[in-house]
A and B are shown apart, each in its own frame.
Chain A
Amino acid sequence: MWGGLSVGMVFYLLFGIAPALGNVLVSFTNYSGLPGSPTSFAGLSNYTALLTTEGPGFVSSIIDTLFFVVGVTVVQNVVGMLFAHRLQGQGKAATLLRILAFFPIVLGVTVVGIVWLLLFDPESSPAQALFGAFGIQSAFFGSNTVAMPLVIIVQVWQNLGFTMVVFIGSLKMIPRSIYEAAGLDGVTPWKRFSSITWPMMAPAVTVNVLFAVIGSLTTYNLIYILTDGDYGTNTLGMLAFNSGFGGTPDLGLGAAVTVALLVVAICVAVPLALLLRYRERRLLA
Chain B
Amino acid sequence: MSSSSGMLLINPRRVWRLTSAILIGLLFIIPIVYVVMISIESPNQFLDHPLVPPVPPSLQNFSSAYQQGDLGPQVLNTIIYSLSAAGISTGLSLLIAFPVSRKLIRWSSGVYGWFVIGICLPLPIIPLFIEARDLHLYDNRIGYILLHVEPGLPLGVILLTAFISGIPKELDEAAWIDGAGYFRYLASVIGPLAWPSIVIIFLYSLLAVWNDIIGPVVLLASPNLFPVARGVYSFYSSNPTSYTLLAAAVMIVSLPVALLFVVSQRQLLRATMGMSR
Contacts and interface: CB of A to CB of B under 8 A. Distances in A.
Interface of A: 1, 4-5, 7-9, 11-12, 14-20, 22-23, 25-26, 31, 33, 83, 86-87, 93-94, 97-111, 114-119, 121, 123-126, 129, 157, 162, 165-166, 168-170, 172, 203-204, 206-208, 214, 217-221, 224-225, 237, 240-241, 244-245, 251, 254-255, 258, 261-262, 265-266, 269
A214 B125 contact: no
Given A33-B129, A114-B236, A119-B34, A22 B46 contact: no
Nearest to A251: B126
A152 to B, nearest CB: 15
A141 to B, nearest CB: 11
Chain B binding surface SS class: helix
Contacts of A244: 125-126, 129
Contacts of A108: 207, 210-211, 213, 229, 257
A10 to B, nearest CB: 9
A154 to B, nearest CB: 10
Interface residues on B, range: 35 or more
Contact of A18 (B30, B127, B233): B127
A9 B96 contact: yes
22 contacts: A8-B92, A8-B95, A11-B149, A15-B149, A18-B131, A22-B130, A26-B126, A99-B265, A100-B28, A107-B254, A107-B258, A108-B211, A108-B213, A118-B243, A119-B31, A166-B275, A168-B273, A169-B275, A221-B213, A255-B127, A258-B126, A265-B121
Contacts of B275: 166, 169, 204, 207
Contacts, number: 239
Nearest to B251: A111
B124 A107 contact: no
Interface of B: 17, 20-21, 24-25, 27-32, 34-35, 38, 46-47, 50-51, 92-93, 95-96, 98-99, 104-105, 111, 114-115, 118-131, 146-147, 149-150, 153-154, 182-183, 186, 207, 210-214, 217-218, 228-230, 232-233, 236, 241, 243, 246-247, 250, 253-254, 257-258, 260-261, 265, 268-269, 272-277
B273 A172 contact: yes
Given A22-B130, A219-B123, A269-B120, 7 more contacts: A19-B124, A102-B265, A114-B246, A115-B34, A124-B50, A207-B276, A266-B120
A7 B24 contact: no
User: Which 3 A-B residue pairs are closest in the complex by CB-CB distance?
Assistant: A108-B211, A169-B273, A4-B95
Contacts of A12: 96, 114-115, 118, 150, 153
B191 to A, nearest CB: 13
B273 A19 contact: no
A25 to B, nearest CB: 8
Given A8-B92, A8-B153, A19-B128, A99 B51 contact: no
B96 A8 contact: yes
B24 A15 contact: no
Chain A binding surface SS class: helix
A5 B131 contact: no
Contacts of B258: 103, 106-107
